[in-house]
Amino acid sequence: MKELWELIRRFDLKGLLVSPTENGMIQFFRYVIVGGIATIVDWGVQYFLTEAGIHYLVSAVFAFFAGLSVNFLLSKIFVFKAEKARVGTALEFAAYAAIGGAGLLLTVGIMYVLTDVLHLHYMLSKVAATFIVLFWNYFARKKLVYEGRKNK
């Protein structure tokens, strides 16, 4: 945590966003930024498809795949570049997608309950689901896909 605050205090953008690091707090900081970008893609696809007439839960699946792709690429480049995946790139993506798939099931379940049962707007449900699933995705990917494999 101290290293992260020092980088923020010095406004060291290279250290905060680009330089390889195994520091979990800096990685999480980056993951939130990467996740924010992927979330904009996800929410945009969700909104566009739903407003175009596709059921909001079907739209959530398509939005998930768009956001997953963006998140995978940016996480590989900015978040976890100091660590190698436990497996090759194809299996890395498959593991990433499987963890994301569990996140998708959580998202759909949360959205269904909040939208169909509690009658919230589907985008409010999407926002709530996004924040809950963020933590699952980061910690599962960190532990299951990347942890313990330093990039040499």
Determine the structural domain holding residue 53 and report its residue range. 2-8+22-146
CB atoms < 10 A from the CB of 40, how many? 12
Instruction: Give the burial class of 51: count Cβ atoms within 10 A of its Cβ; 0-12 exposed, 13-18 middle, 19 or more buried.
Output: exposed
Domain count, the chain: 1
Residue 17 inside a domain? The answer is no
Residue 152 inside a domain? The answer is no
Residue 116 inside a domain? The answer is yes
Residue 125 inside a domain? The answer is yes
Look at the block and give the residue holding tokens 């998708």.
104
CB atoms < 10 A from the CB of 3, how many? 12
pLDDT tens per residue across span 48-58? 999 999 999 99
Q: Report H helices in the chain.
A: 2-10, 13, 24-51, 56-74, 89-112, 122-141
Which are the contacts of 116, defined by CB distance < 8 A and separation ≥ 6?
none
pLDDT for the residue numbered 11: 83
pLDDT for the residue numbered 82: 62
Which are the contacts of 143, defined by CB distance < 8 A and separation ≥ 6?
none
Look at the block and give the residue holding tokens 């313990």.
148
CA pair distance 13, 10, nearest whole angstrom: 9
Residue 33 inside a domain? The answer is yes
Residue 13 inside a domain? The answer is no
pLDDT for the residue numbered 152: 44
Residue 14 inside a domain? The answer is no
* Spans in the chain with pLDDT lower than 50: 151-152
CA pair distance 123, 130, nearest whole angstrom: 10
Residue 105 inside a domain? The answer is yes
pLDDT for the residue numbered 72: 84
